[in-house]
Amino acid sequence: MLLTRRQALFAGVGAVAAAGALGRVAVSPAQAAADDYMAEIMAFTEGREPTMGRVMLDVPEIAENGNTVPMTVTVDSPMTEEDHVVEVLVVADGNPRPGVAKFAFTPMSGIALANTRIRLANTQDVIAVAKMSDGSVFMDRKEVKVTIGGCGG
């Protein structure tokens, strides 16, 4: 039996509606994002719990426009062969896709500093996690209040 495009479309819509009625499609995007940012941090740290300190995240307390929020992350490190920052991950816990930026460093970087502009969907925490050459993991967290919507808001 061959299906027309219209029949296939109706069958697909019916299947999605039936799955929703049975409660199988019950995860809202906000719930997914709440779990996603922690999963992304745990994958980055390879399961290690980050410690507060050594990372300084500089973001405005209030962002007038969520589409372009200035951000600077600095990690206190001598940047020697024995002790340096390997990578920094920045996540926003309220964005539909929490991963905001990832920066790689080497001892030749001289200083562990990166700045950019990020996009925030709404008022939320921005978290920077730094992975060090000895395997230790440090973080900083700041809340940013967004007054005008960023990601589609």
What does the alpha-carbon distance between residue 17 and residue 32 come to, in Å, rounded to a whole number? 20
Residue 32 has pLDDT above 80, yes or no: no
The residue among 77, 75, 131, 138 whose CA lies nearest residue 107 is 77
Residue 20 has pLDDT above 70, yes or no: no
- pLDDT of 2 reads 76
Secondary structure tally for the chain: helices H, strands E:
2, 9
Here the tokens at position 29 are 């995007």
Task: Give the span between the Cα atoms of 42 and 54, in whole angstroms.
Answer: 19
pLDDT of residue 56: 98
pLDDT score for 36: 86
Token output for 37 = 């940012």
Residue 45 binned pLDDT confidence (cut-offs 50, 70, 90): very high
Q: Specify the pTM.
A: 0.75
pLDDT at 5: 73
> What pLDDT does residue 9 have?
66
Give the CATH architecture of domain 5-146: Sandwich (2.60)
What is the model's pLDDT at position 1? Answer: 64
Q: What is the mean pLDDT of the chain?
A: 85
- Summarised one tens digit per residue, pLDDT across range 95-134 is 989 999 999 999 999 999 999 999 998 999 999 999 999 9
Residue 88 has pLDDT above 90, yes or no: yes
Which has more pLDDT, 12 or 43?
Answer: 43
